[in-house]
Amino acid sequence: MNVHYYMQFFPGEHSPGSLQPFAFATALAGRGHSVTVITAKYNIDSGADEPDVDRQTGTGALRVLRLDCHRGGRQSTVSRLRAYVGFMMAARRTGRRLGRPDVVVGSIQPMFTGWAAWKNAQHAGVPFVLEIRDLWPDALVVKKAISPLQARPLHWMVNTLYRNSARIVSLTPGIKLELVKKGVPADKVDVFPNGFNPALFDVPSGTRDEVRRKYSWGDDFVAIYAGSFQEVTAVEVYVRAAACLKYHPGIRLALFGSGPTRKRVEKLATGQNLTNLEFHEPVPKKDVPALLAAADVGLMALFRSPLVHIYFENKLMDYMGAGLPILAAMEGPQARMIADSDAGRVTGAFDHEGLARLILEVSEDAPARRQMGDNGRRLVRDKLLLPDILNRYADTVEACAQGHASEHPVWEPL
């Protein structure tokens, strides 16, 4: 089977960002298929160039074609639009020069990439699978990045993609809920979330001490954030929590990541003399398990939004899989999941004082930390193992290529 996979921001094998897309393409190739990924040349999180890939994987092959387009994916609205539309046009041209696929997968991140993928699937006369990693344009309207009037043609575009897809893959249960509200049949939408890869988190003994020496953490209680700096992730909450904890020696907040709000967050921290707060650049995915092994708790926060339920983040699985208790300032399904499984403690969105209290309380209760860490680890190993999710996803793509999309049962892990 020949698969074309369109995704503008496709992180490299060891780069910052979601592990799932590269792992999915590799899993498909490992089943004996020829997989070609059409993507942008740079990593959206680090800004660094990513290499092309051309390798045999089992009896199949994986090729990643990286197109050199405008790099405005994290800048102004105009710059982003230029980046998105420029890639859409380049991807459409590139895809048509490739051999005829048996199935096309197009990822909405952004939605213009999905449009290019569908048009090329239509041109080749093959089934189209729509992957939705963010709910466009709904999320843009909620964040006030565009007006409802500006969103009208974008709604028309995504509705066209919904109707013409053989199957829709949702990254989160919340996105599926919104799609069903829009009239998309529930039996057309699978949920294949970012999952937990146990092999990646098998860190050698001594890792914790080694990493703590590297960052000079000593015997401090370390609350870590490893993720992107965006409006959605409300990283400023950690700065304000650190200010509440500045007179509690031995507690340190370490923030790893990059993104459009990082400069603003750093500016907020400047001048407050926060010796208990530190900023670091993002680390490659392969280094995240060692980093989490050296920490004591993982931090999460989300902004307040009518669409808060559509988010289901990588760091949730990473923290749980690493056995880190989670301290979160947020609402929605992720908050309920943490609380219901007793994998951490939760306070309201933007409640930095509440988060500071949780950090202080948990820093003094090692038995509770161990129990919460064990609970989270058990949840992801029982329900969210990445290999299981990828196999289900590959089954669905194969069924679509064979013309059996309507007969293939939908899947949702939670």
For strand 53-57 and strand 326-329, is the pairing parallel, antiparallel, or unpaired?
A: unpaired
Confidence of residue 313 (pLDDT cuts 50, 70, 90): confident
pLDDT of residue 118: 97
Exposure string over 168-198, b if 16+ CB within 10 A, otherwise e: bbbbbbbbbbbbeeeebeeebbbbbbbbbbe
For tokens 């999180």, the residue is 45
- When pLDDT is averaged across residues 131-137 and rounded to a whole number, the result is 92
* Structural domain boundaries in the chain: 2-195+385-401, 198-383
How far apart are the C-alpha atoms of 240 and 356, rounded to whole Å? 8
Over residues 247-281, the pLDDT tens digits come to 999 999 999 998 889 999 999 999 888 999 999 99
What pLDDT, on a 0 to 100 scale, did the predictor assign at position 74?
64
ω into residue 21 within 30 of 0, thus cis? no
Asked whether the beta carbons of 363 and 372 are under 8 A apart, the reply is: no
Where does 198-383 sit in CATH, by number? 3.40.50.2000
> Which residues make beta-bridge pairs with 170?
132, 191
CA dihedral 241, 47, 42, 135 (to 10 degrees): 30
Fold match, 2-195+385-401 / 198-383 = yes
User: What radius of gyration do the chain's Cα atoms show?
Assistant: 21
Average model confidence (pLDDT) for the chain? 93
In which element (H, E) is residue 243 found?
A: helix 236-244
> Counting beta carbons within 10 angstroms of the beta carbon of residue 125, is it exposed (0 to 12), middle (13 to 18) or buried (19 or more)?
exposed
In CATH, 2-195+385-401 is 3.40.50.2000:
yes
Helices (H) and strands (E) in the chain, counts: 15, 14
Tokens of 400: 């679509």
- Separation between Cα atoms, residue 305 and residue 290, nearest integer Å: 33
Spatial distance between the Cα atoms of 361 and 346, rounded to a whole number of angstroms: 12
Mean pLDDT of 373-401: 95
- Which pLDDT score is estimated for 364? 95
Average pLDDT estimate for 53-63: 90
Beta carbons within 8 Å of 367's beta carbon, 6+ residues apart: none
> Taking the CB of residue 155, how many other CB atoms lie within 10 A of it?
16
Rounded Cα distance between 177 and 167, Å, is 15
Mean pLDDT of 319-340: 95
pLDDT band at 395 (very low <50, low <70, confident <90, very high): very high
Taking residues 391-395, report their average pLDDT.
Answer: 96
Share of the chain above pLDDT 70, in %: 99
Q: What is the pLDDT of residue 73?
A: 63
Please state, in angstroms and rounded to a whole number, the distance separating the CA atoms of residues 10 and 22: 7
pLDDT at 144: 82
